[in-house]
Amino acid sequence: MKLKFQYRPGNSLFHKMDPSIKFIWMVIIVLLLFIMTDPFSVLGLLLLQILMGKIGAKMGLSEMARALVIIAPAALTVSLLNIFVIGDLLYGAAMGLRMLAVVIPGVIFSKTTDPRRLTFSLVQVLKFPYMFGFMINTAYRFVPIFEDELNSITNAHIVRGVDMELKGIRGRFKKLQITVEPLLIGVIRRSQLTSMAVQNRAFGAYPNRTYTYVTKATKWDKIFLAAWIIAFFIYAFTLGTPSQLLSTFMPWAK
């Protein structure tokens, strides 16, 4: 079964890029969105990401559009709430576009990053503790598994004659209840099995690990990251509002 957020082997620029560099790139995108308060800047960043996904990751426009459609209702709700509460149309539009702009880097990362290589890169390139890298890798691997399990739960309800086309607020809550509850049970069961498996293998018994695969960031990876860092500071201190970014991490500085 073809899953939406599963790694796809390929030979694109993003496939060749070190996973840690892509991880930091996603963080920079999020920080940029924090200081972007006008919809035109956010829209420009979103279009740039789509272009990067098309050229750099060799993803189809329809593939990225399907990912945006998933978050579109939540983005629209956030946008309308900001418009009604604050009374600023442009600010409300920017808040909605922010949610859409976060999606594309995540999709690019998930589809072009081998989970095993991600773990190696976090430990070898970013020098994370290998237990932390293992947690990131486990969570990353579970995403397509849970997506597949959610589809299986939905299909099982359909086979049993349950109406999965429920409409209205009450219908949506009912649909959420009959799908999320068995999914959470599956999450707990898999977590327990994973915990027992790593304990039986004495995972974490030694402070360091040895690896058969060694990864490192290339010169072009570092240039790509440096370009985004420079672009971030240029925007922050010209068109952006660095005080908003500061107040995000230090609320007392507002």
Confidence (pLDDT) at 240: 62
Residue closest to 171 by CA, chosen among 180, 163, 161: 163
Tell me: the pLDDT tens digits for 16-41? 999 999 989 999 999 888 888 888 88
Q: Which residues contact 224 (CB under 8 A, 6 or more apart)?
A: 17, 21, 25
Q: Using the predicted structure, report yes or no on whether residue 199 has a pLDDT greater than 90.
A: no
Looking at the domain assignment, is residue 121 inside a domain? no
Looking at the domain assignment, is residue 120 inside a domain? no
133-137, long-range: CB < 8 A, 24+ apart: 134/198, 134/203
Confidence (pLDDT) at 2: 46
Q: Using the predicted structure, report yes or no on whether residue 194 has a pLDDT greater than 80.
A: no
Instruction: Please check whether residues 207 and 193 belong to one and the same domain.
Output: yes
Q: How confident is the model at residue 242 (pLDDT cuts 50, 70, 90)?
A: low
Interatomic CA distance for residues 90 and 82, integer angstroms: 10
Instruction: Please check whether residues 152 and 93 belong to one and the same domain.
Output: no
Q: Using the predicted structure, report yes or no on whether residue 63 has a pLDDT greater than 60.
A: yes
Instruction: Please check whether residues 5 and 106 belong to one and the same domain.
Output: yes
Q: How confident is the model at residue 120 (pLDDT cuts 50, 70, 90)?
A: confident
Following DSSP, what letter does each residue of 165-186 receive, concatenated?
---HHHHHHHHHHHHHHHHHHH
Do the beta carbons of residue 186 and residue 149 sit within 8 Å? yes
Q: Tell me if residue 105 falls in helix, strand or coil.
A: helix
Looking at the domain assignment, is residue 119 inside a domain? no
* Range with top average pLDDT, 4-8, 192-196, 203-207: 192-196
Instruction: Please check whether residues 7 and 107 belong to one and the same domain.
Output: yes
Q: Using the predicted structure, report yes or no on whether residue 184 has a pLDDT greater than 50.
A: yes
Confidence (pLDDT) at 252: 42
Structural domain including 170 reads: 126-214
Residue 104, classified by CB atoms within 10 Å of its CB into exposed (0-12), middle (13-18) or buried (19+), is: buried
Q: Tell me if residue 203 falls in helix, strand or coil.
A: coil
Interatomic CA distance for residues 149 and 193, integer angstroms: 16
What are the structure tokens assigned to 176, written together? 């959420």
Instruction: Please check whether residues 68 and 149 belong to one and the same domain.
Output: no
Give mean pLDDT, residues 228-241: 82
Instruction: Please check whether residues 185 and 61 belong to one and the same domain.
Output: no
Instruction: Please check whether residues 104 and 221 belong to one and the same domain.
Output: yes
Q: At what angle do helices 219-236 and 19-35 cross, to 10 degrees?
A: 10
Confidence (pLDDT) at 165: 67
Looking at the domain assignment, is residue 44 inside a domain? yes
Do the beta carbons of residue 208 and residue 123 sit within 8 Å? no
Task: Name the CA dihedral angle for 129, 130, 135, 141, rounded to a multiple of 10 degrees.
Answer: 140
Confidence (pLDDT) at 156: 76
Q: How confident is the model at residue 5 (pLDDT cuts 50, 70, 90)?
A: low
Instruction: Please check whether residues 221 and 177 belong to one and the same domain.
Output: no
Query: How many domains are there within the chain?
Result: 2
Instruction: Please check whether residues 192 and 236 belong to one and the same domain.
Output: no
